[in-house]
Amino acid sequence: MMKATAKSLLVFVPFILLMFGVGLLCAGEAANGTTATVKDIAKAAGHAYVGVAKCKMCHMLYFKAWAATPHATVFDRLKPANKEDKNPKCIKCHTTGFGTGGYEGAKTAPDFKGVQCEACHGAGADYMKIPIMKDPAKAKAAGLVYPVSESVCVKCHNKESPNFKGFDYAKYVAKGVHKVEKKTPGTK
């Protein structure tokens, strides 16, 4: 009987400690007494954001094409005088990962300004590893959103936006958000 109780405790106590730790994290308090960030909670719940600097290491052509689009600089269009750069209704569409582990504010997470790769393709920490990225099924299982559907775009391109003038998904897909021309042999 004592052996069965001891075995049960060996399983039960770690489970209780784990649940207590998750409870603290979800309540916003880390075990060390500091406040857990949204990033900590998102990381515990699933995929974490890495930022465009990590994506461009392997996808430079796409990065350069994206950098020339309005998505790259959309945060800069927010008007600080109107406090748009602090308004959650504005920054949710002018940043990457707001409220889910990406952009948290200009001082705490400036690397997520603009509509970056992960805003459309999902938080990349789990799919950015080369062996995973080379296997489309593994990449998608690790959080990669590809191909990007209209439902991703209309999260921001919708009537909630004060500047909305309609959104023609087919037209924008044809133009390409970060269209990369096919390279010819011998070019960089």
| Cα 155 from Cα 55, distance rounded (Å) | 22
Q: What CATH fold (topology level) applies to the domain 46-175?
A: Flavocytochrome C3; Chain A, domain 2 (1.10.1130)
Contact 105, 82 (CB under 8 A): no
Q: For residue 38, what pLDDT is reported?
A: 39
Amino acid identity, position 163: N
Q: For residue 73, what pLDDT is reported?
A: 94
Q: For residue 183, what pLDDT is reported?
A: 53
Residue 151 neighbours by CB distance under 10 Å:
9
Q: For residue 129, what pLDDT is reported?
A: 94
pTM attached to this predicted model: 0.70
Q: How far is CA 57 from the centre of its chain?
A: 17
Q: For residue 36, what pLDDT is reported?
A: 40
Q: For residue 163, what pLDDT is reported?
A: 86
Q: For residue 120, what pLDDT is reported?
A: 93
Rounded mean pLDDT for each run of 10 residues along the chain, 188 residues in total = 50 40 38 41 66 94 92 94 94 94 83 94 94 95 92 94 91 78 51
| Cα 67 from Cα 45, distance rounded (Å) | 30
